[in-house]
Amino acid sequence: MMTRLQNRVAIVLGAATGIGAATVHRLRAEGASVIAAGLQPQLLEELARVSGASSQPCNVTDDASVCSLIRTAVDRHGRLDIVVNAAGVVVADDVATITDESWQKSIDVNLTGTMRVCRAAVSVLIKSGGGAIVNIASVAAFNASAGMASYAASKAGIIALTRALANQYGVHRVRANCLCPGWVRTPMSEAEMCAIAAAKGISKEAAFSELEARIALRRVASPDEMAAIVAFLASDDASFVTGTALVADGGARTPASARGI
């Protein structure tokens, strides 16, 4: 394993499962000191034990919780170099029947939560001499599925926020980029596929098989594959990459087609 991130300090939000957990392992393997943060303390503690990271509970909808996480990074390590925003929720809804509560949940966690972390972190990144922000968006930002109105809107907002960050703070050597995954085998996508399978009257694995037939690479991704992209965007190998939305979907904008199988 490369050590591109030796002596870097990183925080990963949404670290308990899925892409977030895989990212913690990958950043640690590449030499970074990592604080794994999220809402599931027991999972975070086990992740920290196995990976060699440290952990801290953090609720991205609570500004005090976010600010406490950033202070912890500075208090423990004296700096902050990498911020990965992988906290997120999926809420199924459509425009004609969406409730304010459903809309607000997606926006509060996915978009406003990402903003809160970036807002708290950017001055610390600047003081550290620059750094990298990697926000996890989705291909839904480009090609939204029926029944995913608030999720798609929140993820599109993350891309716009990221580009604003990149343009504002590039002069301070802060890079900001988005990873836009397609289907990845995570607890979140498993739950989503279970709902699709139930609606079609088939098994979850049969639904995944039908989905995979529509992807150029004929499979869904693993969290480790997404974590590898995060590590690239966080590293000096991506030193001239900022303001981008990197799509990793196996060759298909699959969220738009999955419900039409």
Active site residues: 151
Sequence-distant (≥ 6) Cβ neighbours of residue 184 within 8 angstroms: 18, 19, 220, 221, 222, 223, 225, 226
- Strands of 182-242 (E only): list them: none
The DSSP letter of residue 144 is P
The DSSP letter of residue 236 is G
> HSE-up of 168 (CA within 13 Å, CB side)?
13
Three-state SS at 31: coil
Using the Cα atoms of residue 114, residue 132, residue 247 and residue 167 in order, give the sign of their dihedral.
positive
- Asked whether 60 and 117 are in contact (CB, 8 A), the reply is yes
Three-state SS at 138: coil
Burial of 7 (0-12, 13-18, 19+ CB in 10 A): exposed
Distance separating alpha carbons of residues 126 and 174, to the nearest angstrom? 7
* Backbone φ and ψ of 143, nearest 5°: -145, 75
Distance separating alpha carbons of residues 45 and 185, to the nearest angstrom? 22
Sequence-distant (≥ 6) Cβ neighbours of residue 203 within 8 angstroms: 197
Three-state SS at 135: strand
